[in-house]
Structure formats: structure tokens, C-alpha cells
Chain A
Amino acid sequence: MSEKNKYQNRRDFVKKVGKWAVALPIAYLGYELIQKTSAQEFVWQIDPYKCTQCGQCETNCVQTVSAVKCMHAYEMCGYCDLCSGYLRQGVKERNTGAELQLCPTSAINRSFIENPYFAYTIDEELCNGCGKCVKGCAAFGNSSLYLQIKHELCVNCNLCSIAQTCPAEAIQRVPNSKAYNLKDGYKPKES
């Protein structure tokens, strides 16, 4: 019996020492980390001025239709008839025929406003974030089309899998309170 007690005591002792040996470094780690912590939450967003429309936003998002969508800064748009974001390069006609459109999913709606202006709006249900129109608009237009991560679709991965491969390092963590990098400085309404 006394032998058992001896073992028991030794075991208890080892356990106690071990417990502190585990608890202290963890407490220290917590202390170190708390200094680099903020109550702010972060989300992922594209910096439109860095993005090169490489096309990975369409394919690399974990969502199978990407959470990245094209957005339109209307106040920057020229409302051109010959929209280089809407029409393929070198097309003769100017109408809404799908074969004339740059967008592979026909997600851009073209509507007549007044002579000579046409408005372009994006149907986000159809947009897959490929950025072809953005590229077209940047090449010959006002660069008013741009890509953004839409937060109602994005699941806010711990590491955005597009950010991981984005060649332009355009996708960064931004504070939750400034969740969009809007090109024309539009501020969403306070809710």
C-alpha cells in the first residue's frame, strides 16, 4: 500500500508540474498576442487600382460562382455608345446581340438614355467576376467598371483563396467598417 502511495504521489507531482509547464507558456502567449489584437473584424476586398483583371477571380474563389462581381462607378462612366467594356473589339454593329458582347454571360444590360448616351448596368446574378469588361473599359474607356468582392456572397475565408493567388496582390484585408473600395468614393448609406 505504501508503495502505491509513493507512485501515486510521484504521479500527482509530475502532473502538477506538467500542468504549470503547459499553463504558463500559454498564458504568456495570450499576453503577447493580446497586444497585437484589435476588436475590429476584417473582410477581404479588392483594390481596384491594383487589380489587373487577370481572370483568377472567376476561377479561384471557393464559391463556385465567384463572390467577385463587376461594379459600375456610374459617375465615372462616359455613357458611350461604343462601349469598350460592352462590345467586342472590332465589331461593326452596335446592338445587344450576344455575339457582339464582351461579357461571356451577357451580364451587362445596355439601355438607351438619350442621344448619344447609353447606360450600362450589371446583372449580378449573371456576372461571374471574370473581369473581361473591366479590362475592356480600362483599355479604351473611362475605367468605370471594376471588380469588388460582394460580401453577401463571400463567406470571408480565413485566407481568401483568390488573394492567395492574385498576381497583383490586389486583395487585402480591410476593416469591416470600410468593406468596399469604391472607385467613385460612394459611401453606403448608414443603416
Chain B
Amino acid sequence: MNKKILYILLFIFIGWNYFIYGQARFPKPEFDSGYNYPEYQITEPISPVWEYIDVAVLLIVLTLTTRFTLKTRSRKSIILISAFSLLYFGFFREGCICSIGSIQNIALTLFNDGYTLPLSVLLFFLIPILFTIGYGRQFCAGACPLGAIQELTGIYPVKLPKTVETILSTVPYIYLVLSILFAATDSHFIICKYDPYVGIFRLNGPSTIMIFGILLLVSGVFINRPYCRFLCPYGVILNWVSRFSGKHLTITPDICTNCRLCETSCPYEAIIPSDLLQEKESMVKSRKKFIIYLILLPIITVGGIFFLQMFSENLAMVNQKVRLAKELRLEKENEIKAISIDAVTFKESGSTLEQLFLEEQQILERFRKGTPWAGGFLGLSLGLALLLTTINRKRDEYKPDQGKCYSCGRCFEYCPIHLEKLELK
């Protein structure tokens, strides 16, 4: 009798416990056979120490690359160091985190309170820029795994028609602006999503990206560095910083003799020819153009602002919440049944439509605020690019365009003075 009461009490106790914990419908068994709970199959994530090793490796690689491009001027060493970066940052560390993607983490941090930036990501963003201020695009020359895989596979350079080249080279600006916009509104990380080479580094990935990556790799054999030239958003930042860099790679180690041998050596169209031997546009004509573009500059900028603002709602569709809200609104108003996984989950979750619509409005508001800045930036850079084409500086030597030049050193061997010095050594 007593035992029975005890059991009932025990049962109530256990039942109550499981009532609190909700889902436990069956009591915890008590085993007589000495059964022990199995071990958990858990492995800890890779130690954070690695992130700092990465930073250290980045610093070493950049220092070495700087030495190879500016001091020893050896294309071979540059190739070796890029191969190392490709192996280490690419295949060994599997391409994440990279400086290109870090743009998004920075934007997310600046415009959202909920996210703390890991120090290593900040360093990955800043260190290459600091090197670029000092010495030009050393990061692109030796440290970027994406740059390296393209540099090493760019075997037969083919020149693109000038107009195609110009039109395509505006794409990185658009890509940069959109990736910042989407990251700042916490909508998407498009740089990571559409990184064509990361699948190759991991030898694993969604099939569409793998195909894109392989296509780009193959086309890169002829159109060298396709990602760098026509997509990379970090390249845009480095391009502008590099124009003001303190030191920069030079084609010739001494004074340029205008022998023109290096003229076609650069597959990236980054060599600005000397104009001693070339026809120049008349002063009057270029001045006229300059004035026209100067007037156009604010017009294009304002145009950009309004243009992109018009699309703020379309752009906001990248955000998952906005899409969900739209779907559910359609269901509410037009009785088109919402069947996506998101909608089904939302209905099960018990949150209210009002709340969702409120959140949607907040996100839309952020897009409305962000798009004018993005458009303004695009307009301004387009205007400035036009303006810069009219500035006709006197040049008596062949020099790399500091913005476009990746400091790859391909042009070294075309310069007879460079070769002569090598022989003397």
C-alpha cells in the first residue's frame, strides 16, 4: 500500500517535471542492465588561434611581395609567393575569411548593433589597404588567393576590345555598392554567395557556382584575371587607394628610354604609354571636354541618386523578410495561397502579421535611406572616371596605371634595362 503511494507520488513528480519541459511524453527509463548513455559525438570547432596565424601569414606574405615587386623585381618570386597564397589561403584555409568578403562584415558592423566584428576580420580588411597606401596593390600581386588562381592560370593573354573592357569594368562598382547595401541592411552577403572560386578551393559546393567557377577559370586562361577586372569589389577600393600610393612598381628599374618594348606586355591594359611618340589631342579640345564633363558630374551624381532610389523596393526583395511579407500580403489581399516554406513556417510560428509588416516597413525604410547614397556613389564615380579621361598629363615615360596595375611584374622582362641589370648581377 505504502509502496503504491510512493509510486504515485513519483509518477506525479516525474509527470510534473515533464509537463514543465513540455515535450517529454515518455518518462526517462531506469535501466537494470547497467546500460550507460553513449558518448556524444562532438568535435570542437577549429581553434581561433588559426585566425591569428592567418593574419600573421598575411603580413609576412605582403611584406615579401612588396620586396619582390619593388626591390628584387623578380617575377619568379612573385609567382612563387602567389602559389603559396593560393595553397595556404585557398586550398588549406578554404578561402574563408577573405579580404573581399570582409567588406560585408564591415558594412554589417557599421549599420547594425547586433553584430560584433571579429578582430581578425577587421585586420583582414585593413592590412591590405594599408599596404596599398604604402606600396600599391601588393595584396593583389601576392596574397589574394582569388588573384593567385587567376594569375597562375592566365597563360595566353588576349586583348579585349576597348569598349567591351570599359563597359565591363564598371561592373565591380555596381557589385561593390550592392554588396554593401545588402550587407548593411542585413539582407544578404552576395560576395560570398557568388564567389566563383571558393567552390574550387573546397572542391565542393553548389553545382551552379562550381560551373560558374570552372567557366571563369577556363576563360581566365585567355581573358586574364576576369574576376579581378570585371567583378572584384575589393579591387575597386584598392584601385582608388593605390592611385595615391607612396611607392609603386615601375616597369623599368631606371630611366625609361621609350623603346616601346613593354607597350603590349601588360594583359590588364594597365600600362600608360609615354606621349613623346604619340599624337596628342589638342589642348583646346581636351579643355572643352573637361568643362563639359565637369558640368555633367553633378548631373550624373544626382541622376544616380534618383535612379537607384526608384529601385529601392525592388532591391529590398533580396531580403527574406520582405519577400515573406509580400507573399503573405498577396495571400491576405488577393487570396493567392502562400505556400513557400517561409510562409508555412511563419504561420506555424504564431507571430502576427502586423509585426511582420512592421518589420518589413523598417527594412524598406533602410533601403530607401541607403539607395540614394549607393546611387550617388555610382554616379560620382562614373562622372569622375569620365573627367579623368580628359586630363592630359605630359608623360615622358612608360608607367603602370597605379589604379589598375596588380603589381604582377609581367612587364619586367620586356624592359631591356631591367634585363641588362639582371645580367650585370
Q: Is A126 an interface residue (CB 8 A)?
A: no
**When the two chains form their complex, are residues B189 and A74 in contact, meaning their CB atoms are under 8 A apart?**
no
Binds A, one of B33-41, B267-275, B302-310: B33-41
| Contact residue among A38, A143, A164 (Cβ-Cβ distance under 8 Å from B118) | A38
List which B223-245 residues lie within 8 A (CB) of chain A. 240-241, 243-245
**When the two chains form their complex, are residues B109 and A119 in contact, meaning their CB atoms are under 8 A apart?**
no
**When the two chains form their complex, are residues B205 and A64 in contact, meaning their CB atoms are under 8 A apart?**
yes
**When the two chains form their complex, are residues A78 and B96 in contact, meaning their CB atoms are under 8 A apart?**
no
Whole-angstrom distance between the Cβ of A128 and the nearest chain B Cβ: 14
Whole-angstrom distance between the Cβ of B143 and the nearest chain A Cβ: 18
Contact A37/B349 with A74-B38, A159-B188 known, Cβ cut-off 8 Å: no
**When the two chains form their complex, are residues A188 and B42 in contact, meaning their CB atoms are under 8 A apart?**
yes
Interface residues of B, CB < 8 Å — how many?
A: 69
Q: Is A91 an interface residue (CB 8 A)?
A: no
Q: Is A98 an interface residue (CB 8 A)?
A: no
A186: B residues at CB distance < 8 A: 40
The interface residues of chain B, by DSSP majority, are classed as loop
**When the two chains form their complex, are residues A155 and B244 in contact, meaning their CB atoms are under 8 A apart?**
no
In the complex formed, the residue of A with least CB distance to B237 is A26
**When the two chains form their complex, are residues A188 and B40 in contact, meaning their CB atoms are under 8 A apart?**
yes
Q: Is A158 an interface residue (CB 8 A)?
A: yes
List which B104-118 residues lie within 8 A (CB) of chain A. 104-106, 109-110, 115-118
The number of A-B residue pairs with CB atoms under 8 Å apart is: 173
Whole-angstrom distance between the Cβ of B211 and the nearest chain A Cβ: 14
List which B30-82 residues lie within 8 A (CB) of chain A. 31-33, 35, 37-38, 40-46, 48, 51
Q: Is A104 an interface residue (CB 8 A)?
A: no
**When the two chains form their complex, are residues A168 and B117 in contact, meaning their CB atoms are under 8 A apart?**
no
A74: B residues at CB distance < 8 A: 37-38
B42: A residues at CB distance < 8 A: 180, 188
B345: A residues at CB distance < 8 A: 52, 54, 167-168
List which A125-167 residues lie within 8 A (CB) of chain B. 138, 140-143, 150-152, 154-159, 161, 164-165, 167
**When the two chains form their complex, are residues B109 and A36 in contact, meaning their CB atoms are under 8 A apart?**
yes
**When the two chains form their complex, are residues A156 and B43 in contact, meaning their CB atoms are under 8 A apart?**
no
7 contacts between A and B (CB under 8 A): A26-B129, A30-B126, A33-B117, A36-B115, A62-B204, A78-B27, A159-B188
- B residues neighboring A (CB under 8 Å): 22-29, 31-33, 35, 37-38, 40-46, 48, 51, 94, 96-97, 101, 104-106, 109-110, 115-120, 122, 126, 129-130, 133, 188-189, 192-193, 199, 202, 204-206, 240-241, 243-246, 320, 324, 341-342, 344-346, 348-349, 393-394
